[in-house]
């Protein structure tokens, strides 16, 4: 497990002295505090950063808009790269993952009227992927923070960023009827795609790139055993995906038009649509049942550059979004935090800004590789509304190339496994 150098621990003692000077501003009734790093957002990115910094004796405060209960019940990702698992192991966060997470050699593609293809990540990279729900990882991160004696300031409102481009940034917010001012050295914007951190960067310093896809994924969770492999099914009527959380919990998705409403999708209609999209031998093995959760997510590609403004550093979905087809969103959040925490630790250890200066470029290298993979897989596996016969033939030709060419199979497996960190 990674250890932190004594210099960093000494810095913590200095900050504790500062914290002891915490003041109550009588005139404004605003509670004023100081920490080293303020982390906005208690999703996987924010909680992982908080854990690593705490381990290294770097003071941090995590601010979250939602309640803890809300964050812990959110259902999202389910596939972890070996790179992500390595980070979690290094920081002592993988005990449950190693005990109950399923090791997967790769994922499968099946195709209407054509043979299937297995994206053989283990064969081409030597490492497997892992099936482990983001919901469980979030529980692990909350438990680790509680064990270290720190908490999450949840249900904060009226969050405002101040002086981000100076050496003394600060934030104000409301919590439980109390106004707060929080001074710090650095701010980590880990507040997801709808958060406020990215919006705090003046537009003149920011460039956004993106695509909005003309369809969504309707997902359900069901307490039935999954089929063995994560399986993406291409069908002329739309994509379907069989995923899993544990031996008794399956997750399924179908591509639906953007205009669809959940209430128009009773379970029977969902299963009928899903089973039609899988080849009959696989469809016969899918165990259907009543859904315990159902949600619709639009698909989007988005990158905001750079991932830094002054003392504000963006990480995870706050800086970029991928469509879920490549299972990369959570993995990118983890790699961003790997780079950002390494840079912050180095800054507190040595006083050098070098790694903080290169954080955005370093993180974006992986981000753009994942954007490309997710965009390609999305286009390969989803029929577009009203696409013409030329587009259909090109998609088939692309899939046929994958079936025929070992080089194409290797390239896809390497991209699906995720770019090595360095
Ligand atoms: P999160 O998880 O959105 O967390 C951000 C947190 O910030 C809080 N927040 C604020 N807090 C304070 N003040 C404010 N003003 C705030 N505004 C927002 C939010 O409440 C929240 O708690 O972002 P983070 O940490 O960057 O993590 C990103 C991942 O959650 C995301 O990329 C993945 O879930 C994407 N994803 C997948 N990723 C994978 O790697 N593998 C997968 O298999 C996978 N499948 C998926 C997915 C995402 C999906 N949906 C629902 C979009 C499947 C789906 C269906
Ligand atoms: C999931 O397990 O929810 C999942 C798996 C693979 C994807 C997207 C989501 O590409």
pLDDT (tens digit, 0 to 9) for every residue of the chain, 422 residues total? 565 654 454 555 555 554 444 444 444 589 999 999 999 999 999 999 999 999 999 999 999 999 999 999 988 889 999 999 999 999 999 999 999 999 999 999 999 999 999 999 999 999 999 999 999 999 999 999 999 999 999 999 999 999 999 999 999 999 999 999 999 999 999 999 999 999 999 999 999 999 999 999 999 999 999 999 999 999 999 999 999 999 999 999 999 999 999 999 999 999 999 999 999 999 999 999 999 999 999 999 999 999 999 999 999 999 999 999 999 999 999 999 999 999 999 999 999 999 999 999 999 999 999 999 999 999 999 999 999 999 999 999 999 999 999 999 999 999 999 999 97
In a domain, 309, yes or no: yes
Q: Is the CB of 130 under 6 A from ligand 2?
A: no
Residues 16 and 38: their CA atoms lie apart, in Å, by 15
In a domain, 22, yes or no: no
Query: How far, in Å, from the CA of 104 to the mean position of ligand 1?
Result: 23
Residues 241 and 368: their CA atoms lie apart, in Å, by 24
Residues 52 and 58: their CA atoms lie apart, in Å, by 9
CA distances to 38, 88, 138, 327, 381 from 324, rounded to whole Å, are 29, 21, 18, 5, 12
Q: What is the DSSP string of 29-68?
A: TEEEEE-SEEEE--SHHHHHHHHHHHHTT--EEEE-SS-H
Ligand found nearest the CA of 374: 2
Residues 165 and 66: their CA atoms lie apart, in Å, by 27
* Total-model pTM: 0.94
H-run or E-run covering 297? strand 291-305
Residues 62 and 337: their CA atoms lie apart, in Å, by 14
| CB-count burial class (<10 Å; 0-12, 13-18, 19+) for 415 | buried
Protein residue with its CA nearest to atom 4 in ligand 2: 78
Residue 280's CB is within 10 A of a number of other CB atoms, namely 8
Residue 375's CB is within 10 A of a number of other CB atoms, namely 17
Residues 375 and 212: their CA atoms lie apart, in Å, by 11
Query: What pLDDT, on the 0 to 100 scale, is given for residue 334?
Result: 98
In a domain, 20, yes or no: no
Instruction: Let me know: does 47 contact 93? Beta carbons within 8 Å.
Output: no
Query: What pLDDT, on the 0 to 100 scale, is given for residue 97?
Result: 97
In a domain, 24, yes or no: no
Ligand 2 atom index nearest CA of 77: 3
Q: Helix, strand or coil for residue 239?
A: coil
In a domain, 7, yes or no: no
Residue 188: which CATH number?
A: 3.50.50.60
Task: Please provide the distance, in angstroms rounded to a whole number, between the alpha carbons at the two ends of the chain.
Answer: 20
Residue 141's CB is within 10 A of a number of other CB atoms, namely 24
Close Cβ partners of 293 (under 8 Å, ≥ 6 residues apart): 75, 219, 220, 221
Residues 114 and 399: their CA atoms lie apart, in Å, by 9
How many independent structural domains does the chain possess? 1
Residue 101: closest CA among 76, 121, 80, 122:
80
| CB-count burial class (<10 Å; 0-12, 13-18, 19+) for 6 | exposed
Q: Is the CB of 230 under 6 A from ligand 2?
A: yes
Exposure letters 237-267 (e unless 16+ CB within 10 A, then b): ebbbbbbbbbeebbbbbbbbeeeeeeeebee
Close Cβ partners of 14 (under 8 Å, ≥ 6 residues apart): none
Q: Is the CB of 221 under 6 A from ligand 1?
A: no
The angle at the Cα of 342, spanning 79 to 203, to the nearest 5 degrees, equals 80
Ligand 1 atom index nearest CA of 318: 26
Query: How far, in Å, from the CA of 17 to the mean position of ligand 1?
Result: 35
Q: Is the CB of 324 under 6 A from ligand 2?
A: yes
In a domain, 200, yes or no: yes
Strands 30-34 and 23-25: antiparallel
In a domain, 177, yes or no: yes
Half-sphere exposure (CA, 13 Å, Cβ side) for 19? 13
In a domain, 274, yes or no: yes
Q: Which domain holds residue 265?
A: 37-417
Residues 234 and 230: their CA atoms lie apart, in Å, by 13
Ligand found nearest the CA of 107: 2
């Amino acid at each position: 497990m990674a250890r932190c150098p004594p210099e960093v621990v000494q810095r913590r003692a200095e900050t504790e002295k500062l914290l002891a000077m915490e003041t109550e501003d009588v005139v404004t009734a605003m509670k004023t505090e100081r920490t080293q790093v303020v982390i906005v957002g208690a999703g996987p990115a924010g909680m992982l950063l908080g854990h690593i910094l705490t381990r290294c004796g770097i003071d941090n405060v995590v601010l979250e808009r939602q309640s803890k209960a809300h964050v812990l019940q959110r259902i999202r990702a389910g596939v972890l790269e070996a790179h992500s698992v390595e980070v979690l192991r290094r920081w002592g966060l993988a005990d449950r993952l190693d005990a109950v997470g399923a090791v997967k050699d790769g994922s499968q593609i099946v195709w209407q009227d054509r043979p299937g293809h297995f994206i053989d990540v283990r064969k081409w990279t030597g490492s497997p992927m892992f099936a482990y729900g983001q919901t469980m990882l979030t529980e692990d991160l909350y438990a680790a923070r509680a064990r270290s004696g720190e908490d999450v300031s949840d249900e904060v409102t009226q969050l405002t960023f101040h002086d981000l481009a100076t050496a003394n940034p600060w934030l104000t917010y409301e919590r439980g009827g109390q106004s707060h001012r929080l001074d710090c050295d650095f701010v980590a914007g880990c507040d997801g795609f709808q958060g406020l951190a990215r919006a705090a960067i003046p537009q003149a310093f920011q460039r956004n790139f993106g695509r909005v896809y003309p369809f969504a994924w309707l997902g359900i969770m069901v307490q039935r055993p999954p089929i063995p492999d994560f399986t993406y099914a291409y069908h002329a009527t739309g994509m379907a995906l069989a995923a899993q959380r544990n031996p008794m919990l399956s997750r399924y998705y179908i591509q639906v038009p953007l205009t669809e409403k959940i209430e128009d999708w009773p379970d029977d209609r969902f299963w009928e649509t899903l089973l039609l999209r899988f080849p009959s031998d696989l469809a016969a093995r899918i165990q259907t049942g009543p859904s315990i959760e159902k949600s619709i997510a639009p698909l989007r590609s988005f990158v905001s550059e750079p991932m830094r403004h002054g003392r504000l550093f963006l990480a995870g979905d706050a800086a970029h979004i991928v469509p879920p087809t490549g299972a990369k969103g959570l993995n990118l959040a983890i790699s961003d935090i790997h780079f950002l925490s390494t840079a912050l630790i180095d800054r507190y250890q040595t006083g050098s800004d070098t790694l903080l200066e290169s954080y955005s470029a370093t993180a974006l290298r992986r981000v753009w590789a994942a954007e490309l993979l997710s965009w390609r897989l999305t286009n390969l596996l989803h029929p577009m509304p009203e696409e013409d016969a030329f587009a259909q033939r090109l998609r088939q030709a692309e899939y046929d190339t994958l079936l025929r060419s070992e080089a194409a199979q290797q390239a896809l497996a390497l991209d699906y496994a995720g770019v090595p960190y360095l």
